[in-house]
Amino acid sequence: MKFNQGKCWIPHVGWGDRGCTDRLGNERLDSSAGERDLGILVCGVLDMSQQCPGSQEGQPCPGGSSGIASAAREESTNSGAGESGKSTIVKQMKIIHKDGFTYEERMEFRCIVHSNAVQSILAIVKAMTKLGISYENPARIEDERKLCAMATTLEDGSMSPELVGLIKQLWCDGGTQACFARAAEYQLSDSAAYYLNDLDRLAMPDYVPTEQDVLHSRVQTTGIIETQFSFKDLNFRMFDVGGQRSERKKWIHCFEGVTCIIFCAALSAYDMVLVEDKEVNRMHESLHLFNSICNHKCFAATSIVLFLNKKDLFQEKITKVHLNICFPEYNGQNTFEDAANYIKKQFLDLNIRKQDKEIYCHLTCATDTQNVKFVFDAVTDIIIKENLKDCGLF
């Protein structure tokens, strides 16, 4: 792989059957019988792309770059704005196509789960002052003080019986619940209720995180993380890239020539602001990022799949918060179907190459393994079809 003034050179590998060439016109070596190659980029999206020299499966790519794809490999990149669910999609690929997480791997998530639970309750109680919300029971004021003191001395995300008791009392308070109901007004993980409603199980001495616990866990993606798996006689290399603004500059120029981009956008983020910029609506940011990727000259010949994610949270939220908080011009019914279709149209209308480029859109729930399995199966068929076209076989 060569770098020149910040630009990555990555040859695009096409369909891996006899007689196909890469996008540079070089003749490809034949794949083994039945094997085929695909390239996919996931930015907030799924990316089947190329490995950086020295990078390892499941490890960040050094320098935020990617290397040259080997023969018989599909390349995919997972991209999108921060907290759009792209890392969860990558975890699902491991569950669906790589026999899931081992006991040892799940145990590595134990401290992350505990930390997510503690950080969630801290975010809520700290927001109460900002929002002018008081505890229903004044005794919770002392509980909050104790919690904040204990949180500074926690080791490895451990949860003592005393800590669990404090969190449960705070979480059950009416004032805390009122603050939780206004979570769009401050930064709170989507998994807060999932963990806080199940503290007794999480705090058990022999607790081992389940696959759902792992899927709900949240750690900000930095750099580029690679996952490899096989599906439908294709060898995939999927790259999860950071979605926060500070992370994008590390990868957006590195994936020129990939076959497919899977872009993740959170439907439920329409009333939320960015972690890194409290003045910017998350949905608007996703649209801006999608526009820059969809119409980027590097991806003119790249298939793009749009995952409108977190449909479960959106279905619940749309009954309480009108879509016009994000799109003032929207005057349709505030139903799941109408609102989701409107958001979908906002993304698809950004495509300036409608005559030459089709955007494939799916509504997804990244924590629902069966939903992701079904959708990714359809996505793979799309990728195969597009690669057949490139080789003149369709």
Residue 219 annotated as binding?
Answer: yes
Instruction: Write out the H or E segment, with its range, that includes residue 250.
Output: none
- Told to judge if 83 belongs to the known catalytic residues of this protein, a careful annotator would answer yes
The bridge status of strand 303-309 relative to strand 224-231 is unpaired
* 367 vs 310: CA distance, rounded Å: 8
Residue 218 annotated as binding?
Answer: yes
Residue 88 annotated as binding?
Answer: yes
Q: List Cα–Cα distances, 260 to 52, 160, 229, 244, 245, in angstroms.
A: 19, 46, 16, 21, 22
Residue 158 annotated as binding?
Answer: no
* 153 vs 310: CA distance, rounded Å: 34
Amino acid present at 127: A
Which of 75, 83, 173, 256 is labelled catalytic? 83
The bridge status of strand 40-41 relative to strand 224-231 is unpaired
Which of 187, 212, 244, 369 is labelled catalytic? 244
Residue 86 annotated as binding?
Answer: yes
* Beta-bridge mates of residue 362: 307
Closest CA to 216 of 81, 46, 365, 371: 365
Question: CB-based burial of residue 161 (10 Å sphere; 0-12 exposed, 13-18 middle, 19+ buried)?
Answer: exposed
Q: Which distant-in-sequence residues (6+ apart) come within 8 Å of 8 by Cβ?
A: 1, 65, 66, 253, 254, 255, 256
Contact by Cβ (8 Å): 223, 250? yes
Residue 17 annotated as binding?
Answer: no
Residue 221 annotated as binding?
Answer: yes
Residue 220 annotated as binding?
Answer: yes
Q: Which two tokens stand for residue 358?
A: 């089709």
Which of 28, 218, 237, 282 is labelled catalytic? 218
* Beta-bridge mates of residue 364: none
* 112 vs 216: CA distance, rounded Å: 10
- Told to judge if 198 belongs to the known catalytic residues of this protein, a careful annotator would answer no
- Told to judge if 244 belongs to the known catalytic residues of this protein, a careful annotator would answer yes
Residue 28 annotated as binding?
Answer: no
Question: CB-based burial of residue 27 (10 Å sphere; 0-12 exposed, 13-18 middle, 19+ buried)?
Answer: exposed
Which of 50, 77, 88, 176 is labelled catalytic? 88
Residue 312 annotated as binding?
Answer: yes
Residue 303 annotated as binding?
Answer: no
Residue 4 annotated as binding?
Answer: no
Residue 240 annotated as binding?
Answer: yes
Residue 335 annotated as binding?
Answer: no
- Told to judge if 228 belongs to the known catalytic residues of this protein, a careful annotator would answer no
Which of 47, 240, 247, 285 is labelled catalytic? 240
Output helix, strand, coil percentages for the chain, rounded to the nearest 5: 40, 15, 45
Residue 230 annotated as binding?
Answer: no
Residue 217 annotated as binding?
Answer: yes
Q: Which two tokens stand for residue 129?
A: 């002052």
Contact by Cβ (8 Å): 274, 282? yes
- Told to judge if 335 belongs to the known catalytic residues of this protein, a careful annotator would answer no
Binding site listing: 83-88, 190-191, 215-221, 240-244, 309-312, 366
Catalogue the active-site residues.
83, 88, 218, 240, 244
Binding site listing for GTP: 83-88, 190-191, 215-221, 240-244, 309-312, 366
Binding site listing for Mg(2+): 87, 221
